[in-house]
Amino acid sequence: MRSGPVRAAWLRIEETIDPLFPGGTNPLRNLGALACLMFAALLLSGTYLYIHFDTSTDGAWPSINRLSDEQPWLGGLLRSMHRYAADLFVTFTLLHLLREWVLGHYSSFRAMTWLTGVPLLAFMYVSGIGGFWLNWDVLGQYAATASAELIDALPMLDGTLARNFLDSGAVSDRFFSLLVFIHLGVPLMLLFGLWFHLQRVTRPRILPPRALMFGQLALLAAIALAWPVTSGAPADLGRVPVALALDWFVLHPLPLATSLSAPVFWSLLAILFGVLLMLPTFPDRQREPVAVVDADNCNGCRRCVDDCPYSAITLEAHPDGKPGKQIAVVAAERCASCGICAGACPSATPFRSVIELVNGIDMPQQSVDSLRRKLVDDLARAESAPVVVFGCRHGMDVEVNRRIDVLGYNLLCIGLLPPSFIEYALRGGAAGVIVCGCADASCEFRLGNQWTRERMLGAREPHLRRTVPPDRLRVMMVGRHEQGQLDAAIDSLRQNASQGEIA
Amino acid sequence: MNKPLIWMGQAVLYAALAAVILVFTRWPSYQNLPADSALIKLSISHQGKVLGDCVEQTPEQLAKLPPNMRAPVSCPRERSPLTIEIDVDGVLAYRQVAQPSGLSSDGAAVVYHRIEVPAGAHAIEVRMKDDARSEGFDYTRSETVTLAPAEILVVDFDAAERRIILL
Ligand code: HEM
Ligand code: SF4
Ligand code: SF4
């Protein structure tokens, strides 16, 4: 794992506010979903605004203004929400990008998701800036002329776009319809692009957890009610709009371009997009071995396909030729090397009486066989009944030898753990078992702790046998620095075990 | 962490986000033009005169061409660049030579430039040349204009009337 100072600082911030947002509702861990939520709010409120919008140069301003004046509780509210949702959309999207960048989430199996995210940025800004044109107040006038001047500065174009804004007569209704078309068409492209963006992400969290979603929508409605958005004076092309109340979230590229000069602005923008698009070619970590399928031990049950967080597994005809039988096939370039599939496979049960435990699908760097061997050896060597802790190497380090009576195993992901290993450890003499995954919504592979929890509860295959006594097992999803919680769990298991002995 | 603490902590963070949004959605206000200034917007898109005369083709020249291209006169398409100068209060404020657009340089030449001036009265002189073969400037317009703060004066060329216009 790379651990630069920026990455460490970001994780520190996330972990600091984790206690305030229980159950995976930490907004910093849900930025993509928050951006989607704001986009949905924009589409819905925008539809209402469009129904009441007059798409002519003279009709636009009054039609929007009427919404605020005549129906403050519906049109006016939706109008204000549309504006603030745009501000929040930009904020969440930029933070989402920053987070994925800082955490190094741009290369190998994530390269496609990263690359399809980059154009969304451009669509976002064009949609946002284009929204201000339609209002056709002084702010819209500024946004439109400044955008046109900026586009005119591009080589290849004939440079006459800004001439459309020379005087009021110049802005024909036809040209104004073109502006409307941009503000409708580009968001649709964004929606389509979003679909591409999420192609490689299985079960993406498109909406945030309920508490966060309601909180965020309540915030949006509250600021829209308390500080409604109103129009500036109608556009007047004979005068420069001065002292503008600029929306810096959406419109910042325009003054930036003015202060840098258009050619410098375009050059920097080209460099920025170049860097974003080149980033996947410079991975910040080594590629790890990917999942490997063993034909003799795969019966095509599909569990790994269902659990893989990056749609890296498909089923094909089994090489043994039995009609209808299938086999899992891993697409190496999509595989995240998380091992969640290994934990899903029915062949992973350590009770099988084979010398080498070959799993249907397995990780060469941490096979279930190596895990069983280690566990067996360690249990045999232990002097008194130890507590076995399965952890994740992206989360709290459970291997550091804190206590002599604890056996810790850092897995590639907590989802790699076949539930049968818990029973196996208990039968092998463990006093208790702790399954210690990463904090909610912080799984490096998104779904590892969710699948683990469901497997433990019996809600997902392979499930934990009900014969495992609940007082011998703890399942906890905690942050990297919550050693105290782990110690408490160890103590309580130990206590249960000693009470069991007395009884 | 207990419930009341969680509620309070969340309230603080939501309020902080709301404050950031409410502030930067309209503040600081942007001074698009210095106070008490006006703007002269020079915006001209105009096709210069063609550079050469049409030449009558000799029968020999015509014979060399494919039959469908045997036009009796050949006219060059390349246009003259546009030279524009503008004086404000007797001082040259801007000068540009704009090349015609198009692959064969047969399109319009485009000039777009903003000049910020203090509000008030100004003597403006605009000179334009659209014919490389003529002497001096082909069009000149001098005028004294009074500009209110933030007022925009557009300098354009009316191709139909063939004169510089101030709007
Ligand atoms: C319109 C703006 C965007 C929206 C609405 C959006 C939304 C999302 C969503 C919902 C996810 C799935 C998150 C999850 O299930 O945990 C995601 C993942 C991702 N996004 Fe975006 N995204 C946007 C822009 C971007 C941009 C600009 C980039 C970077 C260039 C980016 C990079 C990524 C990456 C790398 C992932 C994968 C995370 C992972 O696999 O763990 N996204 N995005
Ligand atoms: S290791 Fe992870 S990403 Fe790769 S195939 Fe298995 S579940 Fe899918
Ligand atoms: S879970 Fe195992 S047996 Fe089932 S399809 Fe995947 S590799 Fe084959």
The full DSSP string for A8-28 is HHHHHHHHHHGGGSTTTT-GG
* Distance between Cα A307 and ligand 2 center (Å): 8
Q: In the numeric block, which tokens belong to residue A22?
A: 């229980």
Residues A44-58 have a mean pLDDT of 95
Reported as half-sphere exposure (CB side, CA atoms, 13 A), residue B1 has a value of: 16
Q: What is the mean pLDDT of chain A?
A: 95
Residues B146-164 have a mean pLDDT of 95
Q: In the numeric block, which tokens belong to residue A443?
A: 């799984």
Is A7 domain-assigned?
Answer: no
Domain end, chosen from A220, A248, A281, is at A281
Is A249 domain-assigned?
Answer: yes
What's the pLDDT tens digit per position in A121-136?
A: 999 999 999 999 999 9
CA A128, A188, B22 angle in degrees (round to 5)? 25
* pLDDT confidence band for A1 (50 / 70 / 90): very low
What's the pLDDT tens digit per position in A235-264?
A: 999 999 999 999 999 999 999 999 999 999
* Distance between Cα A297 and ligand 3 center (Å): 8
Going by C-alpha positions, the residue among A192, A39, A197 that lies closest to residue A128 is A39
Q: Do A20 and B6 touch (CB under 8 A)?
A: yes
Residues A307-336 have a mean pLDDT of 96
Task: Please count the other Cβ atoms lying within 10 Å of the Cβ belonging to residue A128.
Answer: 24
Cα-flanking dihedrals φ and ψ of residue A102, to 5°? -60, -35
What's the Cα-to-Cα distance from B134 to each of A252, B36, B109, B128, B163, rounded to whole Å?
A: 47, 40, 18, 12, 16
Same domain, A296 and A276: no
The ligand with the least distance to the CA atom of A309 is: 2
| Cα separation, A429 vs A310, whole angstroms | 37
Is A261 domain-assigned?
Answer: yes
Which range among A78-82, A213-217, A239-243 shows the weakest confidence by mean pLDDT?
A: A239-243
Same domain, A277 and A346: no
Which residues are B86's β-sheet partners?
A: B94, B126
Please give the DSSP secondary-structure letter assigned to residue B52. S
Same domain, A268 and A322: no
* Distance between Cα A445 and ligand 2 center (Å): 9
Residues A138-161 have a mean pLDDT of 92
Is A287 domain-assigned?
Answer: no
pLDDT at B81 over 80: yes
What's the Cα-to-Cα distance from A212 to each of A8, A30, A208, A221, B61, rounded to whole Å?
A: 25, 9, 6, 14, 81
pLDDT at A359 over 60: yes
Same domain, A306 and A265: no
Residues A396-413 have a mean pLDDT of 89
pLDDT at A475 over 80: yes
* Distance between Cα A335 and ligand 2 center (Å): 5
Of residues B64 and A312, more confidence is placed in A312
Residue pair A440/A449 in contact by the 8 Å Cβ criterion: yes
Same domain, A262 and A301: no
Residues 6+ apart with CB under 8 A from A235: A61, A136, A137, A138, A140, A141, A241
Residues A91-96 have a mean pLDDT of 98
pLDDT value of residue A453: 97
Which range among A109-113, A442-446, B39-43, B129-133 shows the weakest confidence by mean pLDDT?
A: B129-133
CA distance A242 to chain B (A): 5
What's the pLDDT tens digit per position in A198-214?
A: 999 999 999 999 999 99
Q: Determine the structural domain holding residue A60 and report its residue range.
A: 30-281
* pLDDT confidence band for A393 (50 / 70 / 90): very high
Nearest CA to ligand 2 atom 4: A335
Is A13 domain-assigned?
Answer: no
Same domain, A314 and A174: no
The interface predicted TM-score (ipTM) is 0.93
Is A25 domain-assigned?
Answer: no
Residue A259: CATH number of its domain: 1.20.810.10
Is A411 domain-assigned?
Answer: yes
How many separate helices (H) and strands (E) can be counted in chain B? 2, 10
Residues A326-334 have a mean pLDDT of 97
Residues A391-416 have a mean pLDDT of 92
Which residues are A327's β-sheet partners?
A: A316
Residues B81-89 have a mean pLDDT of 96
Cβ of A341 closer than 6 Å to ligand 2, yes or no, is yes
| Cα separation, A118 vs A274, whole angstroms | 10
* Chain B residues with a Cβ under 8 Å from any Cβ in chain A: 1, 5-6, 9-10, 13-14, 17-18, 20-22, 24-33, 35, 38-39, 41, 43, 45, 101, 107-108, 110, 112, 149-152, 154, 156, 167
Is A267 domain-assigned?
Answer: yes
* Residue to test with chain A: of B39, B112, B145, B158, most A Cβ within 10 A: B112
Residue pair A122/A78 in contact by the 8 Å Cβ criterion: no
Q: Do B33 and A158 touch (CB under 8 A)?
A: no
The closest-lying atom of ligand 1 relative to the alpha carbon of residue A35 is 5
pLDDT value of residue A184: 96
Domain end, chosen from A258, A281, A304, is at A281
pLDDT value of residue A402: 66
CA distance B133 to chain A (A): 25
Same domain, A246 and A304: no
**Total structural domains in chain A?**
2
Residues 6+ apart with CB under 8 A from A183: A127, A130, A131, A133, A134
Same domain, A307 and A445: yes
Same domain, A65 and A125: yes
Nearest CA to ligand 2 atom 6: A341
pLDDT value of residue A401: 65
Same domain, A215 and A359: no
A317-324 long-range Cβ contacts below 8 angstroms, 24+ apart = A319/A295, A320/A295
Cα-flanking dihedrals φ and ψ of residue A288, to 5°? -100, 165
| Cα separation, A270 vs B159, whole angstroms | 37
What's the pLDDT tens digit per position in A255-303?
A: 999 999 999 999 999 999 999 999 999 998 888 999 999 999 999 999 9
Residue pair B130/B108 in contact by the 8 Å Cβ criterion: no
Same domain, A196 and A340: no
The ligand with the least distance to the CA atom of A300 is: 3
CB burial of residue A132 (10 Å; 0-12, 13-18, 19+): buried
* pLDDT confidence band for A3 (50 / 70 / 90): low
pLDDT value of residue A182: 96
Which residues are A317's β-sheet partners?
A: A326
Domain end, chosen from A281, A308, A332, is at A281
pLDDT at A15 over 60: yes
Same domain, A241 and A330: no
Task: Please count the other Cβ atoms lying within 10 Å of the Cβ belonging to residue A377.
Answer: 10
Going by C-alpha positions, the residue among B91, B111, B109 that lies closest to residue B42 is B111
Residues 6+ apart with CB under 8 A from A384: A405, A431
Residues 6+ apart with CB under 8 A from B134: none
pTM of this structure: 0.94
| Cα separation, B77 vs B103, whole angstroms | 11
The ligand with the least distance to the CA atom of A326 is: 3
Q: CA-nearest residue of chain A to B6?
A: A20
